[in-house]
Structure 1
Amino acid sequence: MAADNGRTKAKRRAGIFGAVVGVAAAGLAAGIAAERAIVRRSKRGVGDIYAEERFGALPYDETCTVTTADGTDIHVEIVEPADGVEIDAGFITGVAAGPAEPTIVFVHGFCLDMGTFHFQRSELTRRGDYRMVFYDQPGHGRSGRLESGEYELPALGETLRAVIDETVPEGPLVLVGHSMGGMTIMALAELYPEMFERRVAGAVLIATSGGLVEQAKFGLPTIISRFGSPLLPLVNNATRLTGGVIDRARTAASDLAWLLTRRYGFGTTRPSPALVSYVEKMNSGTTAETVARYLRTLYTHARYPALATLRETPTLVIVGDKDMITPVAHSEEILRRLPDAEFIKIADSGHVVMLEHADEVNAVLIDFLGKLER
């Protein structure tokens, strides 16, 4: 009888969650119904500069799988510098063996994958100056999923440490994190401050947050964010019962997903349709179950004390001035704790600033990397 009551309550909670999501979806659909008629025309993208871009098809020199302590397999791709560029194994501080080009480790955000850094990877590969490491976060892209429980930011920090240990066992590092990737870097700093004293030559925090979580939407429509906190205890049970249904509904509503991606991810009024489609493809590749298992850790993210570890580390903070997911105020709070950090606010850009305004972000990133060598 107790078990039956438990199942009844679980179903009732799932029903409440489903009803709220249904109301949210209905409201959103009504709000943008007028736009849906132009989606297909928009996707054709006459004059789209990225219409022929081969997103997700960049070369690498080596690929490997890193297995974390919790048993999750992480997909990693490594790009080596061009012939003639030497990577020194010396540390930036401590016992240095001379000038060294750092290895750059890129950490992507929530509901995305390593393709987030498509244009940075393309340009830096063309230049051939640096060794680069890219990986898909747990539950994202080609990486495995956590067997049970929720995804926690400390575990993401441990995943980053495992990737570093396997692919860059020694030598200087530059860590580049977008959105949840920036939070992952903060988690690493919290867990292993000594790495930032001896090995981390620089950090780049793009469109991220140190803890203004109650104001962050993390890509969710406003109505869902508004009711998200009290619903979070229900999310796991709800997705066990309805995750497949949510996934199928999301696939069926691809036009709506495309419009939401354009609205919440970009700052320009007419972003490249091919670019919007690429970001939407990454979003839709993340299952509803994975989304649910990440939500609580994102809403409870509070890593401002960890930023103290970065005070002596050269840091670059980048944000789009029209970021609706982690607005400019989030970066400004980081800067309050890292007053010596370099701050770049890019006009007419949303949350995926490194894709939307790739040339500007590339120029700033390359300049930052050059300063680290001087």
Structure 2
Amino acid sequence: MSIRRAAVAGAVGLAAAGAAGAGLAHRRRVLARREDEPGPAFGSLRSKGRTVVADDGTPLYVEVDEPEVPTRLTLVFCHGYALSLDCWHFQREHYRARGIRAVYYDQRSHGRSGRSPMGNATIDHLGADLMTILDAVAPEDPVVLVGHSMGGMTIVALAEQHPELFGDRVVGTALIATTAGGLDPSRILFPMVPTWAGSGAVHRSVAALARGHRAVDRLRRLGRDVALVATEQLAFGDDVPQSYVAFVDRMLAATPFEVVAEFFPGFSTLDKFDHVEPLAKVPTAVICGTDDKLTSIGHSRKLASRIIGSTLLECHGAGHMVLLERPDEVNGELDRLLGTTGAVDER
């Protein structure tokens, strides 16, 4: 039997065994009872899209919220692994109401952006993409960069590649539920693969599964209840409405497993704590949930300790998707950060 067939066959058996568990059924019922009526209209906040072409030809999908009264400052939001620009729903709602220019884009191979060439699905390429986007949509404006998870790693990569930007065009940064290294990648991957896989199994089988990615994607669709419960338990800390969990799960499910596998190796080799120093030149906010199971609070504390002058907001009980789970706290900290830059037009 080929590696591909063996991996997929094993996945089928293990997925079936996991789905049969009584604990899964119980947790699914608990989650269903938490439905909000009506829930937020996730994915409904849109502006006219445009394409920015990366240096290797990858088309990047970008949306810019232009306020009625132009502002000096531009906010740029960088989303995380296997998510999309829609994950910033509550932040987008907030900054539209405040009338601040904001840029949202899909990372390469995610959302509406084009697929990365083989071998270019790396954190360093994401950093270069961010530079390309800044040049295209905010070539002169002062900018504040906001990154969640892999988006925070993107900002750190940009700081390594272009430290001269910080204190010049970049006037502030926010790093949310992220790290600059020392990550166990199976923690990030776990909610995005069929949930029969444990940490060791992920490390051993992700490359083999990538060869059978179409079959894996079919299994993910078939095992929706399993995936939904895994997303709820691993992406959130406190109890949240089912619509929040379903929204995150839709973004994860929309990311082909081949893409998940292409980015996977880069997380284990990420080692950029020695390159965060440029962020100390500007006001920097580090934000994390204390119950983050993917990039644990220790990563944020280490970032804050290495970025002199930064602030650390720990949202008690919140998980990795703290930007959805605690939007008032996150938005409040971002507002405080913007106020320290001196670039906000208060009206």
Q: Does 1:302 align with 2:271?
A: yes
2:260 aligned partner:
291
Q: Is the contact between residue 318 and residue 345 of structure 1 (CA under 8 Å) also seen in structure 2?
A: yes
1:53 aligned partner:
40
The structural deviation recorded for 1:18 is 4.2
Q: Does 1:224 align with 2:210?
A: no
Corresponding residue to 1:42 among 31, 41, 53:
31
In the aligned structure 2, how far is the partner of 1:361 from the partner of 1:348? 14
1:107 aligned partner:
78
Larger Rg: 1
Corresponding residue to 1:200 among 162, 170, 180:
170
Corresponding residue to 2:101 among 117, 124, 131:
131
Q: Does 1:79 align with 2:65?
A: yes
The structural deviation recorded for 1:170 is 1.0
2:333 aligned partner:
364
In the aligned structure 2, how far is the partner of 1:230 from the partner of 1:260? 20
Instruction: State the secondary structure of the residue aligned to 1:138.
Output: coil
Corresponding letter in the other structure for 1:324: K
Structure 1: stretches of 5+ with no match in the other structure? 1-7, 88-100
2:142 aligned partner:
172
Percent of residue pairs identical = 36
Q: Is the contact between residue 153 and residue 187 of structure 1 (CA under 8 Å) also seen in structure 2?
A: yes
In the aligned structure 2, how far is the partner of 1:308 from the partner of 1:19? 47
Instruction: State the secondary structure of the residue aligned to 1:198.
Output: coil
In the aligned structure 2, how far is the partner of 1:197 from the partner of 1:17? 49
The structural deviation recorded for 1:63 is 2.1
Instruction: State the secondary structure of the residue aligned to 2:276.
Output: helix
In the aligned structure 2, how far is the partner of 1:57 from the partner of 1:250? 25
Corresponding letter in the other structure for 2:57: G
Q: Does 1:354 align with 2:323?
A: yes
1:278 aligned partner:
247
In the aligned structure 2, how far is the partner of 1:337 from the partner of 1:24? 42
Q: Is the contact between residue 216 and residue 326 of structure 1 (CA under 8 Å) also seen in structure 2?
A: no
Indicate the larger mover: 108-117 or 213-222: 213-222
The structural deviation recorded for 1:23 is 7.0
Q: Is the contact between residue 186 and residue 202 of structure 2 (CA under 8 Å) also seen in structure 1?
A: no
Task: Note the alpha carbon deviations across 1:326-352, whole angstroms, 9 max, x for none.
Answer: 000111111221141110000121000
Instruction: State the secondary structure of the residue aligned to 1:311.
Output: helix
1:325 aligned partner:
294
The structural deviation recorded for 1:42 is 3.3
1:156 aligned partner:
126
Q: Is the contact between residue 78 and residue 133 of structure 1 (CA under 8 Å) also seen in structure 2?
A: yes
Instruction: State the secondary structure of the residue aligned to 1:256.
Output: helix
Q: Is the contact between residue 21 and residue 224 of structure 1 (CA under 8 Å) also seen in structure 2?
A: no
Indicate the larger mover: 66-75 or 32-41: 32-41
**CA-atom RMSD in angstroms:** 2.3
Q: Is the contact between residue 207 and residue 319 of structure 1 (CA under 8 Å) also seen in structure 2?
A: yes
In the aligned structure 1, how far is the partner of 2:27 from the partner of 2:321? 23
1:3 aligned partner:
none
In the aligned structure 1, how far is the partner of 2:287 from the partner of 2:330? 8
Corresponding letter in the other structure for 1:361: V
Q: Is the contact between residue 8 and residue 215 of structure 2 (CA under 8 Å) also seen in structure 1?
A: no
Structure 2: stretches of 5+ with no match in the other structure? none
In the aligned structure 2, how far is the partner of 1:305 from the partner of 1:318? 20
The structural deviation recorded for 1:37 is 4.8
Corresponding letter in the other structure for 2:45: L
Instruction: State the secondary structure of the residue aligned to 1:133.
Output: strand
In the aligned structure 2, how far is the partner of 1:24 from the partner of 1:215? 21
Corresponding residue to 1:64 among 50, 56, 60:
50
In the aligned structure 2, how far is the partner of 1:324 from the partner of 1:29? 22
2:88 aligned partner:
117
Q: Is the contact between residue 146 and residue 175 of structure 2 (CA under 8 Å) also seen in structure 1?
A: yes
Residues 40 and 65 of structure 1, relative CA distance in 2, 3 Å threshold: farther
TM-score (normalised: structure 2):
0.90
Q: Does 1:243 align with 2:230?
A: no
Corresponding letter in the other structure for 1:292: A
The structural deviation recorded for 1:214 is 3.1
Q: Is the contact between residue 207 and residue 351 of structure 1 (CA under 8 Å) also seen in structure 2?
A: yes
